[in-house]
Structure 1
């Protein structure tokens, strides 16, 4: 096979690009597994590093033949797998920016993404069914190392010729407050800086198999790919059709001999509830990393009980920096622990707290908004300078320098040892009868109720204006209600009342939910977070 000659294509390109780090031959041997894919039928498909590199070479050559200028966008519509991983690395090698989207994206939303990103090429897996794409948009399919162009991109004279590590490596579109998707632009330099900061925590090593439970179009999936390949380990992309069913999910982990599982906390909820014995039998599993939301302490304790000695890593951060901290959950979890630490920023980055007046908070126990100084910050929001200016703000410690830091919108407090504790989003602070209520504080109290495994608090509008506080709680099947003041046990149909009384013991009256509903499970968004909008709409 003829190997793609990167230096011949870009003779002046220097620096570390995404593909440089993830395909660095010093981190693995050629026959090591790079991608291990479960089939759902007990078999697995293994792609070695040598095979992955050959596939990247083949895709990169074909992309280079299209004569697209550096930085041109390629819409990558695919599920996570060896071939799609090869495509995104080939985009990096060819100097192109990949924009991952889900094959399940509604047509109208996809059209909006195309209008916003203005890609030169739409790429989908060979079995993809997407049609009705805009005229003039280049289209192609990829499969088994072959990239077939169906409609060539619109020819244009390149204005640039040499890729730079400051170019966008990818753009991830998330939901935006304005009603249109918000594109987070991450450069090669930022992504590789983040990966190197993450590697300092030694989460994975050669020979490990890192199960990724997030769809490709979420940045958490890119974190998992980077963690695995940059560590010389194998990434195990678990299809969403398997993640959604506890028994299928656990079988995929067993079939692939996964040593690590990375995902949002909610992927474990039904597993812990319905398949504890199968989880306990996963003897290859050594580590769990979670991100995206708080892991309820009752569920964490149950996970520890089923898998003694399991390393559990609390990963905190935003899409705008991929993540920024990694903190091991204590083992054992102290009985009086109320809130997990998110630790400190990864190597090369720094967190600081700023109060409502814009002053830097110095000292433990004082809440503030987290600002992040990091070489891994995003470049900006695609075609949205106003939102970019609101997020990337002058360094409050030295505005004269021109340096910007990320205003995260997350509230936190510093502990006595300099560690940070996440308090919630600044925009999750709501007004109830003129009183400010932080929903996270209400949820933490609800989770302290015996048998509570998940809880979400939401403000619900009142017909005449204003809001009332409601909560939705999931209880374990063997939950035992607390006793009332007279010592009598509450009846099962009065658990909601017991929960309100329990909250009233620790919270001011205006923070006690006036209505509490018990659910079998909390609804989740496609990326596994609690769907607050669905709870509000269905109420």
Structure 2
């Protein structure tokens, strides 16, 4: 298999009528998804759209994989848009893409036309009724190459302009092939998806399902606000593998949900996207002692993941969980400020990634591409592009990598360089702290700790901070909160918290 067209075809021919993608109301087999995809692809090709960006503006549902298939089968590349995103951001993305067409469903069509009044809108409902054109589809497949773009995932840029990461057919097949093989994903696997389709974490289980014949069940977002429904849904669908952000896993832990009703089929609990508090991990491991837990680590620019750690021992709540070692097909390089490789334990450096998972760059953004996709600092004899992550890591005595936060998130306080995540790790282990977030007030030069708990325990929490933290890392201000807001990807929204509490 060299392109995702091959993957879609093979899944349809091998698994045929087996359940592929479901949501709360609909279910599609692999063959049905390909049939719908071919019709959509034929509509796109008839409209003269090939090797172009196609935006998908649809409510999260089991229809979206068919929409993706339609774009891929027509030798185009897609971007899934967040229907809840502000219109201004969506307009910026559409402007960057220069997309000739937006594919949307009936539920979102009116809003789509309001946000993109000058764009051609193709109705999903009409496209799936189009006659499949076998000759045109075969011609498109013949022209497609493994290195061609499959989709673009937009993330927030530091300048306020979204960055579109360009991922190829080869990237997805290389990464998801590793994912499926390493974790023994197969036709009997039932994924329970929490992540939205515009988030890179969706790549693993979505294309993992296409590659392996696994079933991909979309969990309604509202069920994370009503966790009792969540457990029932997971058991009803016999979901045995989840890949969630730690914030979502924390919802279950803080409600102590699994003490009342267990996940009866759960075999794999994978997590990524933010640091996993060991307190939450220990709750899950205590409730599901037979399950496999894995910390997956990587930026969108490495398709989804470049490092992983399968939890193989117990951790104290004050410890940091390793991000482990490189996935097969990726190479991790830890580099110091002089561009020299670090191999010994305990020395902090920046993480660079090489290999087949690394994206081509940012869409129509040569400046930021040149800054992040750079020449391998260890090779001078020939061109070798690697991704400079901006993540700070160090090896431990076991040869595992530990994550110490973002290079651009370090603060300088009282003359010391501090990583706020280190404070969060320590304070998350304090009794009375449900979960915490550390912020920095630049104007006042103060560290601020937000914590879930009670005001009555504030004095005890402050005392524990003084005992456990070096003096220059002790927060100046402690604020008790009822809970933390989450962003569109389900992660704790630190930008909103900073705006709310720092200004």
- Mapped to 1, the partners of 2:414 and 2:165 lie a distance apart of 36
2:31 is aligned, of 44, 50, 54, to 50
2:477 is aligned, of 496, 512, 515, to 515
Aligned residue pairs total 489
2:106 is aligned, of 126, 149, 156, to 126
Residue matched to 1:330:
312
Residue matched to 2:135:
none
Residue matched to 1:30:
16
Q: Which moved more, 1:288-297 or 1:335-344?
A: 335-344
- Mapped to 2, the partners of 1:447 and 1:69 lie a distance apart of 51
Q: Deviations over 1:424-465 (max 9, x none)?
A: 111121122332111011111101212433111110243xxx
SS at match of 2:206: helix
1:97-116 to structure 2, matched below 5 A, reads 97-116=77-96
With structure 1 as the length reference, what TM-score do the two structures score? 0.85
Shift of 1:537: 2.0
Question: Is 1:214–1:240's contact at 8 Å kept on the other side of the alignment?
Answer: no
**Pairing 1:361–2:342 present:** yes
**Pairing 1:342–2:320 present:** no
Q: Deviations over 1:451-506 (max 9, x none)?
A: 433111110243xxx4200111224xxxxxxxxxxxxxxxx745222222222223
Structure 1: give runs of 5+ residues left out of the alignment: 1-14, 40-44, 150-159, 476-491
Q: Which moved more, 1:109-118 or 1:199-208?
A: 199-208
SS at match of 1:399: coil
Shift of 1:249: 2.5
- Mapped to 2, the partners of 1:27 and 1:439 lie a distance apart of 50
Residue matched to 1:474:
452
Question: Residues 364, 534 of structure 1: CA spacing in aligned structure 2 closer, same or farther, 3 A cutoff?
Answer: same
SS at match of 1:82: coil
1:438-517 to structure 2, matched below 5 A, reads 438-462=419-443, 466-475=444-453, 493-517=455-479
2:171 is aligned, of 175, 187, 190, to 190
SS at match of 1:452: coil
- Mapped to 2, the partners of 1:147 and 1:173 lie a distance apart of 30
SS at match of 1:92: helix
SS at match of 2:273: coil
Question: Residues 27, 460 of structure 1: CA spacing in aligned structure 2 closer, same or farther, 3 A cutoff?
Answer: farther
2:2 is aligned, of 8, 13, 16, to 16
Question: Is 2:317–2:429's contact at 8 Å kept on the other side of the alignment?
Answer: no
Question: Residues 147, 431 of structure 1: CA spacing in aligned structure 2 closer, same or farther, 3 A cutoff?
Answer: farther
Question: Residues 59, 26 of structure 1: CA spacing in aligned structure 2 closer, same or farther, 3 A cutoff?
Answer: closer
- Mapped to 2, the partners of 1:59 and 1:493 lie a distance apart of 56
Residue matched to 1:485:
none
Question: Residues 243, 78 of structure 1: CA spacing in aligned structure 2 closer, same or farther, 3 A cutoff?
Answer: farther
- Mapped to 2, the partners of 1:344 and 1:328 lie a distance apart of 10
1:200-215 to structure 2, matched below 5 A, reads 200-215=181-196
Question: Is 2:278–2:317's contact at 8 Å kept on the other side of the alignment?
Answer: no
Q: Deviations over 1:139-180 (max 9, x none)?
A: 11113972679xxxxxxxxxx993322221111111111111
Shift of 1:127: 2.0
SS at match of 2:320: coil
Residue matched to 1:142:
124
Question: Residues 287, 111 of structure 1: CA spacing in aligned structure 2 closer, same or farther, 3 A cutoff?
Answer: same
1:129-278 to structure 2, matched below 5 A, reads 129-130=110-111, 131-134=113-116, 136-143=118-125, 146=128, 162-274=143-255, 276-277=257-258
- Indicate the RMSD between aligned Cα atoms, in angstroms: 2.3
1:387 is aligned, of 351, 356, 368, to 368
- Mapped to 1, the partners of 2:13 and 2:235 lie a distance apart of 26
Question: Residues 303, 279 of structure 1: CA spacing in aligned structure 2 closer, same or farther, 3 A cutoff?
Answer: farther
Q: Deviations over 1:400-441 (max 9, x none)?
A: 321011111111111334321111111121122332111011
Structure 2: give runs of 5+ residues left out of the alignment: 132-140
1:427 is aligned, of 378, 400, 408, to 408
Question: Is 1:279–1:306's contact at 8 Å kept on the other side of the alignment?
Answer: no
Question: Is 1:280–1:306's contact at 8 Å kept on the other side of the alignment?
Answer: no
Q: Which moved more, 1:375-384 or 1:410-419?
A: 410-419
Residue matched to 2:499:
537
- Mapped to 2, the partners of 1:125 and 1:336 lie a distance apart of 46
**Pairing 1:78–2:58 present:** yes
Q: Deviations over 1:280-339 (max 9, x none)?
A: 4220122111110111111111111222212111110001012112321225x2448712
SS at match of 2:123: strand
Shift of 1:373: 0.8
Residue matched to 2:72:
92
SS at match of 2:152: strand
Shift of 1:32: 1.7
Question: Is 1:79–1:215's contact at 8 Å kept on the other side of the alignment?
Answer: no
- Mapped to 2, the partners of 1:425 and 1:290 lie a distance apart of 19
Structure (1 or 2) with the larger CA radius of gyration: 1
With structure 2 as the length reference, what TM-score do the two structures score? 0.91
- Mapped to 1, the partners of 2:324 and 2:126 lie a distance apart of 42
- Mapped to 2, the partners of 1:281 and 1:199 lie a distance apart of 26
Question: Is 1:55–1:144's contact at 8 Å kept on the other side of the alignment?
Answer: no
1:312-331 to structure 2, matched below 5 A, reads 312-321=293-302, 322-330=304-312
**Pairing 1:62–2:43 present:** yes
Q: Deviations over 1:504-531 (max 9, x none)?
A: 2232211000111222222221212222
Shift of 1:203: 4.6
